[in-house]
Amino acid sequence: MNNHIKKMLRITDPSLKIIHVSYETIKNRQTIVIEATCSPYQKSCPNCGCTAQNQFGKLSIVKNGKKCVRVRLDQYNHLPTIIKIFKQRYKCKECSSNWTAQSSLVEKRCSIGYHVKFKVIDLLKEKCSLTLIAKLCHVSITTVIRILKGLRTYIPNPNTSSLPSVLMVDEFRSHASLEDKMSFICADGETGKLVDILPKRKLNKLTHYFMENPSRMNVRYLVTDMNAAYDQLTKRVFPNAKVVIDRFHIIKHLNKSFQDFRVKEMKRIAVTKNKEAYFKLKANWRYLTKNRSLIQHTEYKTWRSFRAPKYPYLTEAMMIDRLLNYSPALKETYECFHNIKLQGLTKYEEGIRNAMVYPYSNGKIEAKNTHIKTLKRVSYGFKSFDNMRTRIFMMNQLIIVK
Ligand SMILES: [Zn+2]
């Protein structure tokens, strides 16, 4: 019976013997309490090293009372479970030292079993709050944080890890206590594997960080959004790298510039008392960003801002034309925006050209940022950058514990 219970509880320590199982109410919760003894045979004294029996056949190590410890186990059938271990104490007659038997269920001087620790570590990989983990494992938040902090040592050392040939870089909003609210993230552009996360994205910090890595010469492509600082980074740190600007960001940047200009122009029109034009542009701005190849040229119909009896029936193209006629400047910009899409982005010209040639994009890192956002939201933010970094590494399966 003893062995069956042990098997069910996944206790492998042979020196543990279960003597009693009962229910108790602990902290207002019904709890399974398992009582067990732990008294392994001691071959020698850990202090002086003498054997259990001396040369005259007399015992050198004698049993000397028991010590009761409570260890938290993983819940069993949704009931919190603890194990009371009566640990044998020993005394060495030769050197009069005392010690207590240790079970393999739990770390020395710790009351949380390994099972629970591994459960906490497993849950830390998920996007959930520390409070939830603490609740699920029936431990305190402090315990969860302690385990999380203990995992920091498992983070691969950035200075020895080699950089990939395609390096994606991006930034994400970290947390409020940092002066520079954006943090830096980089990943392998081909596999999507996370490389590292840094609290700051300032150029000098990044330069310093990457300069220490001997494999920086490996980097052939630096995939980035339109942050000019990374352009500098390539020149200084990655002499062999070409900058590739993410296509999505090119379009995004372009759209944003156009929208900014449209808003500016609309405000100007509003001030010059042409309120009607202002509202028409405001209501129909989407048509201005519409892909030109998709605009209808044949179907005549009535439009919300150009109702039929007052205005003639118009095609979509004609309607857009009317909108643009309110502002010659906007019309000109519209032409630029759609025809010479990349004008005004000459600063990034090289990177943009590369974006058309090489198949790398920032998509994978954007996905990572979304995950980080979710993690931050479910955790109600992070106080410590290091804890967040550890969890992001955990989430990306980059911390392997035993
Ligand atoms: Zn001894």
Q: Give the pairing type, strands 16-26 and 29-38.
A: antiparallel
Looking at the chain, the whole-number percentage of residues with pLDDT higher than 90 is 10
> 101 CA to middle of ligand 1, Å?
15
> Ligand 1 center to residue 58 CA distance, Å?
14
Band (186; pLDDT cuts 50, 70, 90): confident
Residue 317 lies in a domain: yes
Of 293, 324, 339, the one marking the end of a domain is: 339
Q: What is the pLDDT of residue 22?
A: 93
- State which of 47-56, 113-122, 388-397 shows the largest mean pLDDT: 113-122
Sorted by sequence, the CB contacts under 8 Å of residue 177 that are 6+ apart come out as 383, 385
| Cα 345 to ligand 1 centre (Å) | 79
Per-residue pLDDT band for 301 (boundaries 50, 70, 90) equals confident
| Cα-to-centroid distance, 401 and ligand 1 (Å) | 35
Is residue 388 within 8 A of residue 127, CB to CB? The reply is no
- Contact of 68 with 117, CB cutoff 8 Å: no
**DSSP H helical segments within 111-192, as ranges?**
114-124, 130-137, 141-150
Does 197 reside within a domain? no
Per-residue pLDDT band at 231 (split at 50, 70, 90)? confident
Within-domain flag for 316 = yes
Q: How far is the CA of 63 from the centre of ligand 1 (A)?
A: 13
330 within 8 A of 324, measured Cβ to Cβ: yes
Judge whether residue 107 has pLDDT over 70: yes
- Total number of domains in the chain: 2
Asked, for residue 64, whether it belongs to a domain, the answer is yes
Query: Average per-residue pLDDT in the chain?
Result: 83
Distance (Å) from CA 282 to ligand 1 centroid: 88
Final residue in a domain of this structure, among 58, 84, 111: 111
Position with higher pLDDT, 273 vs 375:
375
Structural domain span for residue 293: 250-339
Please identify, among 71, 91, 111, the residue that sits at the C-terminal boundary of a domain. 111
- Burial level of 111, CB count in 10 A (0-12/13-18/19+)? middle
Higher pLDDT, 292 or 213: 213
245 pLDDT above the threshold of 80:
no
Model pLDDT, residue 175: 67
Q: What's the 94 CA to ligand 1 centre distance in angstroms?
A: 5
Q: How confident is the model at residue 344 (pLDDT cuts 50, 70, 90)?
A: very low
pLDDT above 50 for 336: yes
Q: Is residue 262 part of a domain?
A: yes
Q: What is the 75 CA–ligand 1 centroid distance (Å)?
A: 39
* CA of residue 210 to ligand 1 center, whole Å: 53
Q: For position 243, what pLDDT does the model report?
A: 81
Q: How far is the CA of 313 from the centre of ligand 1 (A)?
A: 104
- The residues, ordered by sequence, that sit 6+ positions from 55 with a Cβ below 8 Å of its Cβ are none
| Ligand 1 center–CA 54 separation, angstroms | 11
Measured in angstroms, how far is the CA atom of residue 46 from the centroid of ligand 1? 7
Give residue 220 CA to ligand 1 midpoint distance, Å: 62
* For residue 237, pLDDT beyond 60: yes
Confidence of residue 297 (pLDDT cuts 50, 70, 90): confident
**Domain membership flag for residue 225:** no
C-alpha 102 – ligand 1 centre gap (Å): 17
pLDDT at 306 over 90: no
Which residue would you say has higher pLDDT here, 42 or 272?
Answer: 42
Tell me how far the alpha carbon of residue 44 lies from the centroid of ligand 1, in angstroms.
8
How far is the C-alpha of 67 from the C-alpha of 99, rounded, in Å? 10
SS3 34: strand
Question: Does residue 97 lie in a domain region?
Answer: yes
User: What is the mean predicted confidence (pLDDT) over 174-185?
Assistant: 70
Instruction: Determine, yes or no, domain membership for 393.
Output: no
Q: Which of 14-18, 201-205, 283-287, 345-349 has the lowest mean pLDDT?
A: 345-349
Hey, is 383 helix, strand or coil?
Answer: coil
Could you list which residues have their CB under 5 Å from ion ligand 1? 45, 47-48, 92, 94-95
